[in-house]
Structure 1
């Protein structure tokens, strides 16, 4: 088999209900010169058998079966065997527009860029998706970092992008860390000199209702704070023009974790100790948040409530549950 232009890597775990739609949206791409690597990450349902069936029916499909190691381990396994000149990632419970990779590939090639991105189409059950105005721009590494940290025209997500393979010569996703995209975003961008940002909504992100696990706090959620504080430390050392937006993301991480804590039914001793530390940090950043263009009015109101009494913040947080999660896709 000739070397494919693109390798598309899909980690698969416990998604048999959604896998067909995901895989078919990839196999039916208008851009056809690709290999699809399905990484069965020890899935306990029928996903492993489904992956083998796809491979039997389409020679572009390769399957890896491995012991469960999490999203990062699955992506890394795909990277290791990928043959393509370019790499892409899709999450197995999402799906993509039929021309997503054609658009990404053409943008990347036309601009002689290292990385190309498209926008998300956010889908909620029973609601019409919001169609946004298309924007297109080409920027350098620092410009791409600023836009990505802002989280509006582009996000930290691995999945709505096409990468030159060379980017991943030295970059791997951190195994065991739940905010892997935030942890590697600077590593990825530092391997680029030119980035194409096209906000055409080609990656379909389905927001599932009643996702209890995504709302319940665990100590692993602190990974988000760690990742963004690490990014901020690197920015302070190398990219002074990004200091404000990097610290904004640190504050977002603290808010996101605190919201999860406030919406969890019971916190243990260690969790309560961490909660006090988080509240202390946010109170110290009171004026930074209030003067910051990136924070919404409801978020600034919740900041005032937190300064008055955490109980009032908790009430607002429960009313506005989910307000800050979207930016962390």
Structure 2
């Protein structure tokens, strides 16, 4: 396989991680790659680190720009990418040596324009197997909303010709839920995608990552992303509608838990009450979709005994604090 694969890595406040991230890409067993590092106005030493890395490998291109958010950074990378395919990696994560070759083989052997991986290594997952198959775009959309395929753009590969033909870029007004919006937009223009289940991507627990901290505005941005996605649908069926409604409702629980754990539910009382009411009113949505029984029982509990679940959520945080 002689095709060039572009690897785009947005860089912001990741000085502790970026060397390992880039080194893992430099050490890929598939060598025909270009590595585009986009410094999104990072205030730490990340910019200096990537400039030093670029001196060691002529496949690296560094872009330095004013801060505009992760969507802006990825778009800056897409605009200069010259590969036949593109994949994305977050600046605090790292990948196995076979990351590129695995994803490239996934799309090439299955003759698809998009490849998505179901599994990745994280604090919560060590699953991996050799399964790969082709599914319809509609099934992929449903799986993304249900969480069977992770919403982010990392751990996936896209044909650059396909992206350019359909004028698909990241919405720069969306900084949370931007990956899901990009993926859902892509899936409107294909009939099927290749799916793999071999873990080749390591998602790192970075407590300083803006994407992994609870933030009210970010969660509300994620809800806006969901609403935009629905407006962009060209493909829809009852299963997709149910899955979208489930994901929309899951944001209510995410916000409730986030407010409780941050001890700011009284500061956002109106939002908290609204989310709790939605959890009570729309229980049927979570019971209808194919999610694990344990998750369904959790939704039932939040709807029937909300005060108990709220206290339980806050007590868990207090126990963690005491342990520290």
Matched, 1:283 2:305: no
Matched with 1:114 is 113
Q: Structure 2 CA distance, aligned partners of 1:279 and 1:302?
A: 11
Give the deviation of 1:66 after TM superposition: 0.4
What displacement does 1:236 show?
9.6
Q: CA deviation at 1:193?
A: 2.6
Taking the TM superposition and a 5 Å limit, the aligned residue runs for 1:131-146 are 131-146=127-142
Asked whether 1:90 is paired with 2:85, we answer no
Query: Structure 1 residues 140, 244: CA separation in 2 closer, same or farther (over 3 Å shift)?
Result: same
1:252 corresponds to 2:250: yes
Contact in 2 for aligned 1:119/1:203 (Cα 8 Å): no
Counterparts of 1:223 and 1:24 in 2: how far apart (Å)? 33
In 2, Cα distance between the equivalents of 1:216 and 1:187?
26
Post-superposition offset of 1:137 = 1.2
Segments of structure 2 that go 5 or more residues without pairing to the other structure are: 318-324
Relative to the length of structure 1, the TM-score reads: 0.85
CA contact (8 A) 2:12 2:40 kept: yes
- Provide the C-alpha distance between the structure 2 equivalents of 1:295 and 1:116, rounded to a whole number of angstroms: 25
User: Which 10-residue stretch deviates more, 51-60 or 224-233?
Assistant: 224-233
Q: Distance in 1 between matches of 2:66 and 2:316?
A: 38
Superposition deviation, residue 295 in structure 1? 5.0
Change (3 A) 1:317 1:235: farther
Number of residue pairs aligned between Structure 1 and Structure 2: 313
Give 1:71's aligned residue.
Answer: 70
Name the structure 1 match of 2:79: 80
Counterpart position of 1:149 = 145
CA distance in 2, matches of 1:318, 1:298: 19
Is the alpha carbon distance of 1:291 and 1:112 closer, same or farther for their aligned partners in structure 2, counting shifts above 3 Å?
Answer: closer
Check 1:50–1:225 CA distance in 2 against 1; reply closer, same or farther (3 A cut): same
SS in 2 for 1:11: strand
Q: 1:252, CA displacement in angstroms?
A: 1.5
Return closer, same or farther for 1:39/1:301 CA change in 2, 3 Å cut-off. closer
Query: Of the candidates 297, 313, 319, which is equivalent to residue 309 of structure 2?
Result: 313
Name the CA distance, whole Å, in 1 between partners of 2:158 and 2:210: 33
SS at match of 1:201: coil
Does 2:159 align with 1:164? yes
Corresponding residue of 1:31: 30
Compared CA separation, residues 185 and 93, structure 1 to 2 (3 A) = same
Describe the superposition over 1:7-38 as per-residue Cα deviations: whole angstroms up to 9, x where unpaired: 11000011111111100110111111111000
Unaligned runs of 5+ in 1: 322-329
Q: Residue 50 of structure 1 aligns to a residue in which SS? A: helix
- Most deviating of 74-83 and 178-187: 178-187
Give 3-state SS (helix, strand or coil) of 1:206's partner: coil
1:231 and 1:246 in contact (8 A); partners too: no
Q: TM-score, normalised by structure 2?
A: 0.87
Asked whether the 8 Å contact 1:235–1:242 carries over to 2, the reply is no
Check 1:4–1:289 CA distance in 2 against 1; reply closer, same or farther (3 A cut): closer
Task: State the match for 1:203 in structure 2.
Answer: 201
Q: 162-171 vs 89-98, which deviates more?
A: 162-171
Alpha-carbon distance between aligned partners in 2 of 1:258 and 1:236, rounded to the nearest angstrom: 32
* Residues 139, 290 of structure 1: alpha-carbon distance in 2 compared, 3 angstrom cutoff: closer
